[in-house]
Amino acid sequence: MKKTVTTLADGRELLYYDSRDGVVRDAVDRRPLDAVATSSEIRRDPLLGDSVAIASHRQGRPYHPPADECPLCPSEEGRLSEIPDDNYDVVVFENRFPSLAGDSGRCEVVCFTSDHDASFAALSEEQAGLVLEAWTDRTAEFAELDQVKQVFCFENRGAEIGVTLGHPHGQIYGYPFVTPRTELMLRSVEEHRVETGGNLFDDIVARELADGERIVLLGEHWVAFVPYAAHWPYEVHLYPRRRVRDLRDLDDAARTEFARVYLELLKRFDRIFGPDEPPTPYISAWHQAPFGIPGRDEFALHLELFTVRRTPSKLKFLAGSESGMSVFINDVPPEAAAARLREVASE
């Protein structure tokens, strides 16, 4: 992998990740951009104890632009985009409309491919491996920032999820606090350690392997399963079989196998509802150990992949119970979801 660091016209950082060492990236951003002005602010809810990012500047971000005005496609004569070059493998840049900025954290955009009409599932194993290297490199860089306590790499895919740019891309958030979901996990891990002396993540994976009914895909270095108490209609958790804290700790064998395993999971997601249905909307979320906290070594890196679609024509809305009380009601039994995801395996 070759990494090239440059800046955009407004001073934001942009990084090219290329699979070939000989690539030269010297294109200049020729857009007349003003400096980025953000109003990101973190406010803590005294009742729930969680934090909310107030970011009014995001109201002006691009919203479903036509394909020929996509800001994530390479630049070409007469149309300048966020990427100055006329081609790229993987690109990462600071978000012009960040949810978190300055002392409140950092937000970046990750473009998986220059092909506007592609998807992550359509990438080659080499391309998917390059994205993994980019995620890992950014995790390492974020870890050096004093204002970042947790790194979250994720992809939103599909208009049903709320995606406003169709180009295949994801984001990376550097939170200035430990997120509420992670705090809950850490609390459960500590309670389990006190009660049993074991590691909760290890025991969950061992239980799923022993049961087998919810296993979706099993590799030499990775295991994917539908969790026992899945919140979403189709939800898969992907764990390295050797527990590590974050992406930096994966060994070469796990990195190599990840591309094949993850691409297969995404292809299965697109087959859940049949060959004539549109691509399945999903959220793909990496969970990594926060920095500088007690219990960091007990955390387990894993990826959670889920969709809001429950049938070809019906979505799972977060209505009264979910939104009002944080109590999920799942219409699809996890065992049935796992069976379906095994049925649609690639031949």
> Residue 173 is encoded by which pair of tokens?
């958030």
> Residue 123 is encoded by which pair of tokens?
């990438």
Percent of the chain with pLDDT over 90: 90
Of the ranges 65-69, 143-147, 331-335, which one carries the lowest mean pLDDT score? 65-69
Say whether pLDDT at 80 is over 80: yes
For 158, phi and psi rounded to 5 degrees?
110, 145
Query: What does the mean pLDDT of the chain come to?
Result: 95
Does the annotation count 64 as an active-site position?
no
Name the 3-class secondary structure at 18.
strand
Domains and CATH numbers, the chain: 2-175 (3.30.428.10), 180-343 (3.30.428.10)
pLDDT band, very low/low/confident/very high, at 146 (cuts 50, 70, 90): very high
> What pLDDT is stored for residue 64 in this prediction?
73
**Mean pLDDT, range 25-44, rounded to an integer:** 90
Dihedral sign for Cα atoms in the order 315, 319, 321, 322: positive
CA distance 304 to 308: 13
AA letter at 78: G
Say whether pLDDT at 254 is over 90: yes
**Mean pLDDT, range 6-13, rounded to an integer:** 96
**Mean pLDDT, range 177-192, rounded to an integer:** 97
CA distance 146 to 148: 6
> What pLDDT is stored for residue 39 in this prediction?
78
The secondary structure of 58-81 as a DSSP string is GGGS--S--GGG-TTSBPBTTB--
> What pLDDT is stored for residue 62 in this prediction?
72
**Mean pLDDT, range 129-138, rounded to an integer:** 98
**CA 342, chain centre distance (Å):** 23
> What pLDDT is stored for residue 40 in this prediction?
83
CB 179 within 8 A of CB 156: no
Partners of 287 in the β-ladder:
302
pLDDT digits (tens, 9 = 90+) for 206-245: 999 999 999 999 999 999 999 999 999 999 999 999 999 9
Question: Model pTM?
Answer: 0.95
The secondary structure of 95-155 as a DSSP string is -SS-SS-GGG-EEEEEE--S-TT--GGGS-HHHHHHHHHHHHHHHHHHTT-TT-SEEEEEE
CB 233 within 8 A of CB 196: no
pLDDT band, very low/low/confident/very high, at 37 (cuts 50, 70, 90): confident
AA letter at 305: L
CB 300 within 8 A of CB 249: no
Of 57, 169, 221, 237, catalytic:
169
Say whether pLDDT at 59 is over 90: no
AA letter at 301: L
CA distance 109 to 178: 21
